[in-house]
Structure 1
Amino acid sequence: MVLWFFIFSCLLSSSLFFCSILRAELITSLPGQPSNITFKQYSGYIVTDAHHGRALFYYFVEAEAQNPLSRPLTFWLNGGPGCSSLGYGAFMEHGPFQPGRDGNLVKNKYSWNLESNMLYVESPVGVGFSYSNTSSDHFNSNDTKTAQDNLRFFLEWFKKFPQYRNSDLYLAGESYAGHYIPQLADLMLKYNKKKNIRAFKLKGIALGNPLLDIDISIDAAEFLWSHGAISDDLLEMKRSICNDTRAILEYINGNVSKECALVNDATGEEMGDDIDSSDLLLPICLSENAKQQMVFFRNKLVTTHKKIDKRAAIGDPCLTERIYMYLRRPEVQKAMHANTTHLPRTWDFCSGSTLKYQMQNLASNIMPTLSEILKHHIPILLFSGDQDTKIPVTQTRTIANMLARELKLIAIERHGPWYDGDQIAGWSQSFGGSISGKNVTLLTFASVRGGAHEVPFTSPSQALTLFGTFLKGYPPPRANAIA
């Protein structure tokens, strides 16, 4: 019966690609995968618009547990806009494997599938292996369309994985996912108000170094100065002539003033070329391939004032190069059921050439959306690596405090250190309110000591502890990790 329904659906569809990507795909084994892997992996495409021939690529990793259905489901998006959750989230940060120096995969002992079923999606279309047969989908992408597409993705994905429809659902992401995730959550909460539907069991949202309010989030002058990266004179120039927000907004509007160009040039000269704004601490990769990519990114990003999320952070300095090579291998794409329609482009971390996002969306203030989510008693975790200059820890902490004051949340825990094992992992504060006579944590801010823009990449153990305690409904541990 299922087969005939599939064939009938294909005959009705005007797009041949609809047929080739309709099925959920089990990954039997990834090339170079370690032996004795006990959890299942799936990947493939979900059609979000059959008429346009639009589909999002996903990679789903079941929890490494005796009964995966006993664990929650976490949906992860990276930012950009236009960067891959497969390359960054799954293979660089907290997926089960990372490419080793010999080309084989190495098991990640800090994989988030130790705590949750993990669903990585390359969104919007035009990112990674996701695509559309309608060219305008690539050139008119924006926050609203992305949120709507992600909602449709979920509704269709649950048809293929109905066993997870009743799972507790968490939405998580970093950087520009500070736009994607709250807007998707808002649509889910509105969808839940409809009659005769199966509601999403949305239980929480986690955002790492998120872009939330461009007037606050990206203002890095004080942070750079306090770390000795810029001079007193340049700090005063950023304060009085052109701050980071103005520079980005002028770039978005295609009208960079002489004042901002002057400050941007001075910033590049003082900070130097061979530094990654994602992480002030760690070195760059010195392989020849990585050097060539670094030159490309550097030229591009100096022009755009280091647009958010277009370069990799550096934990293992050359890991991104190995991921880049691994995901371009034909046998890897075949194993993952990716690129089944032979896209006219190669996979890349960020899709600047194939995706033209409406960059004016960067100026949208997401704080009102977060406020509405909190009013629905959906807990939110804001975590921030303290070595990131793209979206500094100081700015995310400011936003968390503003949200707490606006909603009149009380301090459930005072600001203080949280622990990963016996080591201080960062500092945190939790806010909440009384629900049914009980104090409940609703908003948590946590810094990650030594963490970068992609916290799970540079601080994997701390990130796993933070993630695991959040899923359990706890604030970050104030002593040894919660058993």
Structure 2
Amino acid sequence: MRLLRLLATAAAFLHLALMASAAAAGSEREADRVAALPGQPPVGFAHYAGHVRVSDHKALFYWFFEAKQKPQAKPLLLWLNGGPGCSSIAYGAAQELGPFLVRSNAPNLTLNPYSWNRVANLLFLETPVGVGFSYTNRSKDLEELGDQITAHDSHIFLLNWFKRFPDFKYHDFFIAGESYAGHYVPQLAELIYEGNKKADKDSYINLRGFMIGNAVLNDATDQLGMVEYAWSHAIISDELYSTVRKECNSFKEEDEGGHPSKACLPAVKAFLQAYDDIDIYSIYSPVCLSSLSKSSSSTSKLVTAPHYFSQHERWHEMKKMPRGYDPCTEDYVEKYFNREDVQKALHANVTHLSYPYSPCSEIIHNWNDSPATVLPTLTKLMKEGLRIWVYSGDTDGRVPVTSTRYSINAMRLREKKQGAAGRRSWGGWRAWYHKEQVAGWVVEYEEGLTLVTVRGAGHQVPVFAPDRSLSLLSHFLHGQSPPPSRAGHRQ
């Protein structure tokens, strides 16, 4: 009888502890609720922002939007931008795919009719520390950053975020991102996959797949593809193209271990100079003339430099070039998130950072580990059954579609053969459609990977093709092939 009383008492204490934990999580969540942002139009969905600790001295900043309708029935999508060192909030949320877009110097935000929270609950994360409002209390942390720490801290963030938002814990979970997130996303997915093997129900994450756009995947083919793209789009001359191909051996797929000649470095410098007066992220878009007069100390960068390019000053000067339909959008975003009233509404900058908010970090100077390829990680996760899509806006010169195709080809995957809908295709390559127009091209592979291009879009696909990118996301989340005919998508 005494044992029964002891067990009952222990169960009661456990129940009280669980209730207290749930109450604490609910309190933290409610404290993160964003009542309204300055200039925000009224909406019918909730959104939250704040910091989640990943260690005693580090905290990552997030912004979370519930789906516009029936959030309890929608999957959860984490979005990551790259850099390394660029903010998913300044780019993804505020310029690309979030519900509220910063579109001018005016105080009002613009409601995005193609926001990705139409089809998913949408989570943006600023990672690693030193990016945006994410911070550390130890300065040496900023000198130790790299791919591994970014993946580790992002994983810890998710585990702790789900404690704050437990009702989303068992939703289908997907990750998406662009540019250097071609490293971040699969590396985080691998950590989640391995962690799930030994996870209990409280630490299991229901990961189903990921989607990466204009993604850094494989150094050798990324570099080769950049040069091929510039030549095929008449940006560089035949002579310069031949010189780079001849003198820079690592640009050759069959000779990845080759060493460049003395003629390689000036050839690469000339290659970079060819982009001086255009936007490498979107080669047919105008540049922001007001930004061209800014100091070259600007550190805006959406993708890390391939090995030979990173040795040139010219590469770092190019990093100040903005992108988007309005090429000055990045300037507007930086101004908006530096406003004190905006930071207060977002529960941001609570530690009063010693530096201003910037779309790409101005305090991260070292990146200590970046593998030359993530293709083995993609192969591993495909074999484990994760849904993997790689998409590419085809007017991007920085991580162009040629780079992505060379990288995928290096994996030696088997194309799926097309049925009746693909009669006009050659092999598995076919067009896909949106609103009865060709939206791009797609090829699916037997091993589980899908490659999709988005016609006329630059590096940030949702900026240039918002309706098509939303359609692409919707098909990805449902595991459906993009529409194969005009009749397949008339909306």
TM-score strictly above 0.5: yes
The alignment partner of 2:51 has SS state of strand
Alignment of 1:276-291 (within 5 A): 276-286=279-289, 288=290, 290-291=291-292
Equivalence for 1:383? 391
Q: 2:127 and 2:431 mapped to 1: Cα distance?
A: 35
Equivalence for 2:407? 399
The alignment status of 1:150 with 2:154, answered yes or no, reads yes
Q: 1:30 and 1:170 mapped to 2: Cα distance?
A: 27
Q: 2:30 and 2:85 mapped to 1: Cα distance?
A: 25
Pick closer, same or farther for the CA change 1:204–1:481 going to 2, 3 Å: farther
The alignment partner of 1:156 has SS state of helix
Bigger shift: residues 145-154 or 198-207: 198-207
Contact 1:186 1:369 in 2 (8 A): yes
What are the superposed Cα offsets for residues 338-362 of structure 1, whole Å, 9 maximum, x if unpaired? 00110011110111x311342551x
Alignment of 1:133-212 (within 5 A): 133-198=137-202, 199-212=204-217
Pick closer, same or farther for the CA change 1:477–1:263 going to 2, 3 Å: same
CA apart distance, 1:237: 1.3
Q: 1:280 and 1:211 mapped to 2: Cα distance?
A: 18
Correspondent of 2:353 among 330, 343, 361? 343
Contact 1:21 1:46 in 2 (8 A): no
TM-score (norm 2): 0.84
Contact 1:29 1:335 in 2 (8 A): yes
Q: 1:469 and 1:279 mapped to 2: Cα distance?
A: 25
Correspondent of 2:322 among 307, 312, 315? 312
The alignment partner of 1:346 has SS state of coil
Correspondent of 1:303 among 291, 313, 318? 313
Equivalence for 1:330? 340
Equivalence for 1:47? 53
The alignment status of 1:416 with 2:430, answered yes or no, reads yes
Q: Aligned AA for 1:95?
A: G
The alignment status of 1:477 with 2:465, answered yes or no, reads no
Pick closer, same or farther for the CA change 1:150–1:308 going to 2, 3 Å: farther
Alignment of 1:29-48 (within 5 A): 29-35=36-42, 37-48=43-54
Q: 2:79 and 2:366 mapped to 1: Cα distance?
A: 20
The alignment status of 1:275 with 2:261, answered yes or no, reads no
CA apart distance, 1:402: 3.5
CA apart distance, 1:410: 3.9
Pick closer, same or farther for the CA change 1:335–1:256 going to 2, 3 Å: farther
Contact 2:60 2:126 in 1 (8 A): yes
Contact 2:292 2:321 in 1 (8 A): no
Q: Aligned AA for 2:32?
A: E
The alignment partner of 1:381 has SS state of strand
Pick closer, same or farther for the CA change 1:155–1:195 going to 2, 3 Å: closer
Contact 1:80 1:308 in 2 (8 A): no
Q: Aligned AA for 2:44?
A: T
Equivalence for 1:110? 114
Correspondent of 1:95 among 92, 98, 108? 98
Q: 1:293 and 1:84 mapped to 2: Cα distance?
A: 20
Contact 1:273 1:298 in 2 (8 A): no
CA apart distance, 1:399: 2.3
Correspondent of 2:35 among 25, 28, 38? 28
Bigger shift: residues 216-225 or 178-187: 216-225
Equivalence for 1:232? 238
Alignment of 1:11-22 (within 5 A): none
CA apart distance, 1:257: 7.9
The alignment partner of 1:324 has SS state of helix
Pick closer, same or farther for the CA change 1:322–1:282 going to 2, 3 Å: same
Bigger shift: residues 100-109 or 70-79: 100-109
The alignment status of 1:429 with 2:443, answered yes or no, reads yes
Pick closer, same or farther for the CA change 1:298–1:87 going to 2, 3 Å: closer
Q: Aligned AA for 1:204?
A: G
Pick closer, same or farther for the CA change 1:76–1:21 going to 2, 3 Å: same
Pick closer, same or farther for the CA change 1:127–1:245 going to 2, 3 Å: farther
Pick closer, same or farther for the CA change 1:390–1:268 going to 2, 3 Å: closer
Q: 2:101 and 2:165 mapped to 1: Cα distance?
A: 26
CA apart distance, 1:401: 3.3
CA apart distance, 1:242: 2.7
What are the superposed Cα offsets for residues 115-163 of structure 1, whole Å, 9 maximum, x if unpaired? 1111000001100110100111111101111111011000000000000
Q: 1:402 and 1:297 mapped to 2: Cα distance?
A: 35
Q: 1:109 and 1:187 mapped to 2: Cα distance?
A: 34
Correspondent of 2:363 among 327, 351, 354? 354
The alignment status of 1:266 with 2:270, answered yes or no, reads yes
What are the superposed Cα offsets for residues 30-77 of structure 1, whole Å, 9 maximum, x if unpaired? 100112x00111000000001xx1000000011111x20111000011
CA apart distance, 1:244: 8.1
Contact 1:83 1:310 in 2 (8 A): no
